[in-house]
Amino acid sequence: MTSFFSIIIPVYNVAPYLRECLDSVLSQTFADWEAVCIDDGSTDGSGAILDEYAAKDKRFRVVHQKNAGVSAARNCGLGLATGKWIGAVDPDDRIDKDFLVDFVVAVRESDADMVWSDYYVNRGGHEIRIRQTCEACVNLMLVKLLCGDLMGSMWNKVFSREFIERHNISFPNQRVVMWEDLWFTASFLSHNPRVKYVKTCGYHYVARDGSACWSQFTLEKLSSEMIVERFLESLDLPQEVLPILQERRMHIKVSAFSSCYIEDSLFYTIYPEIKSLSHFNCGIGQKVLFWLAVRGFRRYTTMIICGIRRLRAVCSLKNTRD
């Protein structure tokens, strides 16, 4: 049976937050939806919670699989979705009760292939609204996407399933820990869809410590970035987007460069052009790191810097308690 919306929810060890997420889906005032929930090998009881909701509402469809990563989980959900429109909700976030209604109005009043909306970021209990005004030109949207001015995630958007299938759009087949949404959204935009922006804001993104986007830059993240980076370069992107893509790559390199979790030998193998990056527009501390990196001391320096930061944090906490 075909639904109007298919909501893909990839789930991995999020039991403390999952019920609030699923309850927010259940509360939707627009009822013609299915939630395709992929339990990606959870070990904390998340799978049992999904089964509980599926037992009381048949619109929840649950698949349990061995852990294969969020990208594989999203691809699984995409393959099972029957809805005319595809959306997503992350399992530690929540949506307002009129979230789907706002999209319904937009897709019925336009011939769009993709509808985009604002969203809230919740950090430490404080929420701010992030405006996502879209450009009339898809190329300019790609520029804003790669600059970070537009969110690459799926969850504040809905996509035409017919358009996805016609252009064979999916998530990466390789295992990545983040940026799989950017892969999907950039791929969708590269096929020149008709895009509509709605001035609604019904998605609450929770910036949670320990999640992929709010944790230390690690080797897994660097590997994921390389995979997504190569894919973006393979797209038939307009000329005006290419300098922005290069700038984005430089910022990622700086993040990786400053991480003491990545061995020097691997870093220099992956980014041999480090010697030519000293001209990069950065602060004096980063320039010192560049200078030391060229001489083979990058990781030792970052370890010292991380140690100093931890010591300052401990001293600050001690002073606060006193």
- The CATH number that applies at residue 101 is 3.90.550.10
* Half-sphere exposure in the Cβ direction for 2 (13 Å, CA): 7
Specify whether the CB–CB gap between 302 and 258 falls below 8 A: yes
Query: How many folded domains does the chain comprise?
Result: 2
Q: State pTM to two decimals.
A: 0.74
Domain limits at 252?
Answer: 219-321
> 112 and 90: one domain?
yes
Please name the residue that has the structure tokens 């504040």: 156
Spacing of C-alpha 272 from chain mean position:
28
Helix ranges (H only) for 9-61 are: 15-26, 46-56
Of the residues 154, 180, 214, the one at which a domain ends: 214
Beta-carbon count within 10 A of 39 CB: 23
* Half-sphere exposure in the Cβ direction for 303 (13 Å, CA): 8
Structure tokens at 37: 């929930």
> 155 and 293: one domain?
no
Please name the residue that has the structure tokens 């606060």: 320
In this structure, which long-range contacts are made by residues 309-315, counting pairs with CB atoms below 8 Å and at least 24 apart in sequence?
Answer: none
Beta-carbon count within 10 A of 287 CB: 14
Specify whether the CB–CB gap between 116 and 36 falls below 8 A: no
> 173 and 250: one domain?
no
Specify whether the CB–CB gap between 77 and 38 falls below 8 A: yes
> 180 and 107: one domain?
yes
241-257 confidence digits (pLDDT tens): 677 666 666 656 555 55
79-133 confidence digits (pLDDT tens): 999 999 999 999 999 999 999 999 999 999 888 999 999 999 988 778 999 998 8
Beta-carbon count within 10 A of 65 CB: 13
Q: Does residue 111 sit in helix, strand or coil? A: coil
165-218 confidence digits (pLDDT tens): 999 999 887 776 567 888 899 889 989 999 999 999 999 998 865 444 444 555
> 175 and 70: one domain?
yes
Rounded mean pLDDT, 269-283: 56
> 298 and 223: one domain?
yes
Helix ranges (H only) for 60-160 are: 70-80, 99-108, 138-147
Of the residues 156, 180, 214, the one at which a domain ends: 214
Specify whether the CB–CB gap between 299 and 274 falls below 8 A: no
Rounded Cα distance between 196 and 189, Å, is 12
> 261 and 182: one domain?
no
151-160 confidence digits (pLDDT tens): 889 999 999 9
Of the residues 214, 233, 259, the one at which a domain ends: 214
> 248 and 172: one domain?
no
For residue 132, CA distances in Å to 73, 118, 125, 151, 160 come to 26, 5, 22, 8, 19
Q: Return the pLDDT at 279.
A: 47
Rounded Cα distance between 233 and 250, Å, is 14
Which secondary structure element, helix H or strand E, spans residue 267, and what is its range? helix 264-270
> 54 and 136: one domain?
yes
For residue 272, which phi and psi values (nearest 5 degrees)?
Answer: -65, -20
Q: Return the pLDDT at 204.
A: 96
> 168 and 118: one domain?
yes
Q: Return the pLDDT at 165.
A: 96
> 28 and 173: one domain?
yes
* Half-sphere exposure in the Cβ direction for 92 (13 Å, CA): 16
> 49 and 149: one domain?
yes
Rounded Cα distance between 249 and 310, Å, is 28
Angle at 175 between CA 139 and CA 119, to 5 degrees: 45
